[in-house]
Structure 1
Amino acid sequence: MYTLMQGVKVVEVASWTFVPAAGAVLADWGADVIKVEHPDRGDPQRGLISSGIVPGLTASADHLVELPNRGKRSVGIDIKTPEGRAVLDDLIREADVFLTNFLPATVAKLRLDVDDIRAINPSIIYARGTGQGVRGPEASRGGYDGASYFSRGGVYDSLMQPGAEMLPEQPSAFGDIMGGLTIAGGVAAALYQRAATGRPETVDVSLLNIAMWNVAPNVVASKLLEGVDVPVYGPDDRPNPIARNAYQTKDGRWIALVMLESDRFWPDFCTHIGRPDLIDDPRFVDATARKTNNRECIRILREQFATADMAQWRERLATMKGVWAPVQTPLETHDDVQVAANGYLRTVTTNTGHEFATVASPVQFGGEPTDLGPAPDLGQHTEEVLLELGKTWDDLITLKEGGHIS
């Protein structure tokens, strides 16, 4: 792990992926992140492995737990009991950051709101993730990325093809992972402000706002163009046939072309695909001509790309100047040469001794990737952390016998 945040202590009272992912990023950056879980049930994310919701998981490598929880220490505390709450308060007193994504009703019931936490530690950074924000008539409603991010935030609609009969498939935890990274950035900024001015800050990130940021051009344009009949272009009718369009190869794969400055790249593109005759074809000689004859141009390009399979096109286009990319499967991305060269995947050994590769958070420092630690078992570090707080072994025995810690 990096050492940029060495000495920063984070207390995380959160579950699932949104917000815990922020703790993982902060741990990647060197913070000591203490994950507080119920001593018996733990984070409900741990239960997915036995639910059948995620097929193919094995107890040796539960990647949906490992990804948002790597590098943390787990402490099992029943914070609903007075004794357990006293232990949590001791952790908060020594912490720099408090993370949560509990719903407002639960936060109020457990006395975990900003004022409650600041009454214990006035200088703490308080960071919370929500579905729809902390204000408004629906602030108390829960939110997962499938609802608050993909649906309400406009992401699904922005990805829909004209005339589509089904929603696009939702990648697992897509909005949650983005939200966690954003919270971590907000926490870093808040720590900087506290170091400069002494003033702690409250950091708020919602899945709804993350979605709006991701599709901001569409959200902004929708109001500016409200009432205007905006043309919708399908794959057969792109104004620029070699930008924001994809062509299928002989073996059923896809190649995406993103050459926005089409006149600049057209001659080189035509040469590389084996159709130099198209360079000076009056129908396609410049961007205006290609726009006028776009359907015919797209048809010809489709026919050409269908003459060879993906492997052949990768070889032919390797030296092309314009931007293009194969539409890769997650497994192909996993094995991508650029991923390997830059250390975007790091090998982690789980507590059961199983090695697997996980994705590093997308910020590198010092020009080098960092090593990552495994996710903790439930309550793995309870004794270690509480002894650091000054508890004695007799204290721990009493708390365990009372069911307040694990």
Structure 2
Amino acid sequence: MTESEGVVNDVLAGVKVLEVAAWTFVPAAGAVLAEWGAEVVKLEPREGGDPQRGLSSLGFVPTGRGGINPMTELPNRGKKSIGVDLRTPGGREVVRELAARSDVFLTNYLPSMRARLGIDLEDIRAANPSIIYVRGSAHGSRGPDADRPGYDGVSYWSRGGIAHALTGPGDEPVSPRPAFGDVMGGLTIAGGVAAALYKRATTGRPSVVDVSLVALGAWNIGPDIVTAGLMESREVRKTSRADRPNPLVGNYRTKDGRHITLMMLQMGRYFAEAMRVIGLPEFVDDERFGTDADRYRNRALIVTAMDEVFAGRTLEEWTTALSGLSGAWSVLQSPGEIVDDPAVRANGYVPTVTAVNGTEFAMPVNPVQFDEVQVVPTGAPEHGQHTEEILLAAGLSWEQIAAHKEQGAIL
């Protein structure tokens, strides 16, 4: 099998997933499940498809080389697409036929929309009582905001506390990167689906799986939440650069404007070695820095000295100088550099994917590998690309398919 044909894991081979979802949060879960070997059918609106397909034409998503829309490719790789109008009787008949033959149903439609389109839990379970029903939401399936819309930038980043946790004292709130919480949420949902499949296989009982963006945010900053709850102010203390507890944890700017990240949590263990390696050997025997308590008390002096030392060499010089350091450190890399990272290349974390139009581009795959198989997904499908193929496999005749097309139920 060539790279352009795709390589997936087979741990979920035979599992059929029906995805009625849009944007990135839940579709990202479908992409992960496809990379784990499941057959994932993406049911898109007959007119226009997943609204994320249109973001590039509106200028919200930059279209890259070969006309590639990254925010379509990323969460929809490895799937098949069918265009269906769920507002029509024929469209609802189609979704029931597909659900009856599926193991998992994925959706992030709001409860009110699910009810109007006939794809709520009761509707899908009526077609298939054993199906695993998965709901991705902004704020959970219960409570006053269950039917309130949200995106990761609102529900995960802001309401979920991520922006506050990452913003320095007195700074403007840190803005999110595209789909930052969505892709983490998709991986989380995929894990929940795998657990639900195991439960059904061992007990015969299907599950309803719920994952929300606000819950994901709370999970990601769990240490901050627990700590805040133990403080009278209910706030986690934020420190300035010179006031951080451990000078061996943080970013240092190089002569050419790049940064080196140090992460040596055990300051006493690594202090002497680090000082010698970076060029401050006189600090090793300085009584001001003799113990952890001394180093903590005089930490601002250490940070200032380290800032000056790091500013004296280029990134290339520092990567050579730090190569033998036993503590953890790294170059602060840009997204464009990660593709060429030797660890990334060796493990196949960002393979070359071929889009439907033949354009090749680099795209990260899910970080889980089984049996050392390096996944290379196929590109995202075109809108409705597999409509006839999917319906024929579901048992519909050409006559039925033609009737649905004439009635505007399918693309």
Aligned position for 1:211: 217
Counterpart of 1:4 in 2: which secondary structure? Answer: coil
CA distance in 2: counterparts of 1:45 and 1:393, whole angstroms: 31
CA distance in 1: counterparts of 2:65 and 2:409, whole angstroms: 30
Q: Within the alignment, does 1:15 sit opposite 2:12 as a pair?
A: no
Aligned position for 1:175: 181
Q: Within the alignment, does 1:313 sit opposite 2:318 as a pair?
A: yes
Structure 1 range deviating more: 190-199 or 259-268: 259-268
Aligned position for 1:156: 163
Q: 1:84-103 residue pairs with structure 2 within 5 A?
A: 84-103=91-110
Q: 1:304 aligns with which of 284, 309, 318?
A: 309
User: How far apart are residue 56 of structure 1 and its match?
Assistant: 4.3
Deviations 1:275-299 (A, max 9, x none): 2222111122232211111111111
Aligned position for 1:241: 247
Q: 1:101 touches 1:129 (CA, 8 Å); kept in 2?
A: yes
Q: 1:230 to 1:60 in 2, by over 3 A?
A: closer
CA distance in 2: counterparts of 1:69 and 1:285, whole angstroms: 55
Structure 1 range deviating more: 99-108 or 389-398: 389-398
Q: 2:66 touches 2:359 (CA, 8 Å); kept in 1?
A: no
Q: 1:177-196 residue pairs with structure 2 within 5 A?
A: 177-196=183-202
Q: 2:61 touches 2:69 (CA, 8 Å); kept in 1?
A: no
Q: 1:25 aligns with which of 32, 46, 50?
A: 32
CA distance in 1: counterparts of 2:299 and 2:326, whole angstroms: 22
Aligned position for 1:62: 69
CA distance in 1: counterparts of 2:387 and 2:239, whole angstroms: 57
CA distance in 2: counterparts of 1:206 and 1:398, whole angstroms: 39
Q: 1:126 touches 1:202 (CA, 8 Å); kept in 2?
A: yes
Q: 1:10 touches 1:95 (CA, 8 Å); kept in 2?
A: yes
Q: Within the alignment, does 1:394 sit opposite 2:399 as a pair?
A: yes
Structure 1 range deviating more: 130-139 or 50-59: 50-59
4+ aligned runs moved over 4 Å, structure 1: 228-231
Aligned position for 1:294: 299
Q: 1:60 touches 1:350 (CA, 8 Å); kept in 2?
A: no
Deviations 1:213-261 (A, max 9, x none): 0001111111111337865321011221112x22111111111111111
RMSD (Å), alpha carbons: 1.3
Counterpart of 1:127 in 2: which secondary structure? Answer: strand
Aligned position for 2:5: none
Q: Within the alignment, does 1:73 sit opposite 2:80 as a pair?
A: yes
Q: 1:259-270 residue pairs with structure 2 within 5 A?
A: 259-270=264-275
Structure 1 range deviating more: 126-135 or 280-289: 280-289
Aligned position for 1:323: 328
CA distance in 2: counterparts of 1:356 and 1:109, whole angstroms: 39
Question: What is the TM-score of this pair, normalised by structure 1?
Answer: 0.97
CA distance in 2: counterparts of 1:290 and 1:12, whole angstroms: 55
Look up the equivalent residue of 2:131 and give its one-letter code.
I
Look up the equivalent residue of 1:290 and give its one-letter code.
R
Aligned position for 1:111: 118
Q: 1:229 to 1:120 in 2, by over 3 A?
A: closer
Q: 2:44 touches 2:384 (CA, 8 Å); kept in 1?
A: yes
Look up the equivalent residue of 1:102 and give its one-letter code.
Y
Q: 1:128 aligns with which of 121, 124, 135?
A: 135
Structure 2 portions without partners, runs of 5+: 1-7
Q: 1:230 to 1:8 in 2, by over 3 A?
A: closer
CA distance in 2: counterparts of 1:11 and 1:175, whole angstroms: 22
Counterpart of 1:264 in 2: which secondary structure? Answer: helix
CA distance in 2: counterparts of 1:56 and 1:83, whole angstroms: 35
Q: 2:44 touches 2:50 (CA, 8 Å); kept in 1?
A: yes
Question: What is the TM-score of this pair, normalised by structure 2?
Answer: 0.96
Q: 1:92 touches 1:120 (CA, 8 Å); kept in 2?
A: yes
Structure 1 portions without partners, runs of 5+: none
CA distance in 2: counterparts of 1:108 and 1:11, whole angstroms: 17
| Same amino acid, percent of matched pairs | 50
CA distance in 1: counterparts of 2:194 and 2:292, whole angstroms: 45
CA distance in 1: counterparts of 2:20 and 2:167, whole angstroms: 36
Q: 1:273 aligns with which of 278, 282, 301?
A: 278
Aligned residues: 404
CA distance in 1: counterparts of 2:20 and 2:353, whole angstroms: 24
Look up the equivalent residue of 1:389 and give its one-letter code.
A
Aligned position for 2:57: 50
Structure 1 range deviating more: 222-231 or 187-196: 222-231
CA distance in 2: counterparts of 1:22 and 1:127, whole angstroms: 10
Aligned position for 1:345: 350
Counterpart of 1:11 in 2: which secondary structure? Answer: strand
